[in-house]
Amino acid sequence: MEQIKLPANLISMFEKDPVVGWAVKDKNSCFHYVNNTFKTWQTISHNFDYEGLNIRDVPVPVAEFCDIFNQQERKIELTGKPVRAITTHIQGSEKIMQPAYNIQEALYDEHKKCIGTIISVRPVRIITPTSLMNGKIMQHATFESPSEIFTEKEWEVVYLLVCGMGLKEISSILSITVDAVNGRLRSCYKKTDLNSLSDLKVYCRDNKFDNYIPLFFLKKGHIVIRD
C-alpha cells in the first residue's frame, strides 16, 4: 500500500479538532488517516486502528453504506468534484440515530495528481419548526430524549402536537387511531398534572422539550446534496 504523506501542520489541525471528524483514504478506499473525532462519530474506540482498512472492514454502523461511499470516491477521483451529503445512522458519542453532514473531496499530491479522498464529518444543526415559530432560531434540534417523563410513543405525539398538528393529522402521520392518540395524550396529562393540549404545549416549551425529534421521524439513509 502506497503511503500518503500529509503535512505535519495539517495533521496537527485535524488532531486538535473536537467537532469535525477527518479521514484520508487512498484510491482503493483504504484509510490512511483518521482523527479521534471521526472515530467518535463512527461509535468506535479511539484505540481502533483504521490504517489499511476499507470501511466495510470496520465494525461500525455506517459500514453498511460502504458500496455507496466507495462509488462516490471513484467518481470524485475522476471528476475532482466534491460530494456533500447528509448521512443518518447510529453515530456520534451518544450512539443514537442522528444526521451528520459529510464532505468527500479529492486529495492531490504536490504534482496535482489525485491520490485519494479526504472526508470530513460534522453535526447537522437543525432548527425545529417550533423554534422558528417561537423566534428561537439558535435552538437546534436534539435527537436524544430530553426526559424520561414520556415514553417514546408519547414523545411522537407530543412532537407533532407542538409542531401544530391536529389530532386527525397526528393519527394519519403515526398510522394510529384518533382514540390511540387521545390515549397517549391522557397518559401525558396524568404524568404532568395537566388537562389540556394548550397547557401541554406550554409545558414542553417551558421545559425545552420542544426541540426533541423522536426516532420515528429519523430514517436511516445517505442523501447527496445537489448544488
pLDDT digits (tens, 9 = 90+) for 52-74: 999 999 999 999 999 999 999 99
Backbone φ and ψ for 60, nearest 5 degrees, come out as -130, 155
For the sheet containing 31-34, what is the strand order?
A: 31-34, 21-25, 114-123, 96-108, 83-91, 221-224
The Cα angle at residue 62 between residues 101 and 227, in degrees rounded to 5: 30
Listed by start position, the domains of the chain span 8-124, 129-217
- Output the pLDDT for position 2: 61
- The topology under which CATH files domain 8-124 is Beta-Lactamase (3.30.450)
pLDDT in tens, 23-48: 999 999 999 999 999 999 999 999 99
Architecture of domain 129-217: Orthogonal Bundle (1.10)
Query: pLDDT of 170-226, one tens digit each?
Result: 999 999 999 999 999 999 999 999 999 999 989 998 898 888 889 998 899 999 987
Show the cell assigned to 11: 495533521
Determine the Cα angle at 137 with ends 22 and 97, to 5°. 45
| 25 SS3 class | strand
